Amino acid sequence: MFTVATISASFSPIRIVNTSNRPVSFRVSAEVFPPFLPREVEKVKDPFARKLASRIQRLPVELSISKNCIMSSCVKPMVQKAANPLVLLHGFDSSCLEWRYTLPLLEQAGYETWAIDVLGWGFSNLEKLPLCNVESKRDHLYQFWKSYIGRPMVLVGPSLGAAVAIDFAINHPEAVDKLILIDASVYAEGTGGLSRLPKFAAYASVSVLKSLPLRLVATYLTYHSLSFDTCLDWARIGRLHCLLDWWEDATVDFMNSGGYNVTAQIRQILKRTLVIWGEDDQIIDSKLGVQLHCELPNAIIRQIPNCGHYPHVEKPDAVTKLIKDFIETNNTPLPLFSKPEEKVLVRQLE
């Protein structure tokens, strides 16, 4: 289970001594939040989420496809470095707040670290709603990279963010140095039957998707072990972006577009890749992590015990160390073909 001790490296611990007989009470510290965040951010108790939320900014990004200028939400790095930056994506229907624990650790390790909201999710201003299909999401990320980063990046994609990263690396290889894929959702055939739903049914589905009871269940399944209070707070964090006015329209548009289907592209990825997987993932079977490792020509895999679907939330210390080791080891190319024993392992797991 996640504890404050696992992220003590990112914030100085405070020792509170009770010198009276009265019980000690705690209040969430007041943060200055950007005005575009939903007011419900004030209800979030997690100090790391509050801290990261206070850092979210909007930067103008002009899409080449629609010519829309999107005020795009992100967390900018504290410092810029000469080395290639880390760029953190997020999972399906989520936001940069996923990185509330790991991003500070990566910054403390000295990396220039960006957290970017994928078009259609997060906290960007979509009042003039662009298309939110795969092509637009890819174009948005590329135009963001072109405007503000401009160097090959270590692109980190958790869950569906791994499909975003693979699609992007195939189409814009000049923008990607390495890939890090975390509990990757890359074998689904897009949004499947959901793409054929009538509009009214699609809107009804996404309305349920943002309900707190459903988010509570999803949060419980996503992580290895959570107390109810933590589960409730994390569910609130996870649905915060759903409270923006355009969230339903953007989500229905993505659903009807068919979504990501990158299975056929996996073997084309020649970038050096780290696959990270939580051993107790209840969302995506760990056998698919082994399969992904075998199909990627230039990859290594590392598993994290006692960890669910989002290791970067649940085990930030472990994820930070794996990323650091991956980036800082020598760049000697890995074997271009999977080892025979790895393929045997996949068959044994089937």
The residues annotated with a catalytic role in the active site are: 159, 281, 309
The DSSP 8-state label assigned to residue 131 in this structure reads P
The DSSP 8-state label assigned to residue 85 in this structure reads P
Q: How far apart are CA 295 and CA 184, in angstroms?
A: 13
Q: How far apart are CA 119 and CA 139, in angstroms?
A: 9
Residue 316 phi, psi (nearest 5)? -65, -35
How many CB atoms lie under 10 A from the CB of residue 319? 28
Q: How far apart are CA 33 and CA 37, in angstroms?
A: 7
Q: How far apart are CA 288 and CA 310, in angstroms?
A: 15
Which residues lie closer than 8 Å to 122 by C-beta, 6 or more apart?
A: 73, 90, 94, 95, 96, 241
Closest CA to 266 of 257, 258, 275: 275
Q: How far apart are CA 102 and CA 90, in angstroms?
A: 12
Residue 86 phi, psi (nearest 5)? -90, 130
Tokens representing 157 are: 């994609």
Strand, helix or coil for residue 277: strand
340, containing H or E segment: helix 340-349
What does each C-alpha distance from 331 to 31, 273, 278, 325, 328 come to in angstroms?
41, 11, 25, 11, 8
Strand, helix or coil for residue 88: strand
Tokens representing 205 are: 């589905």
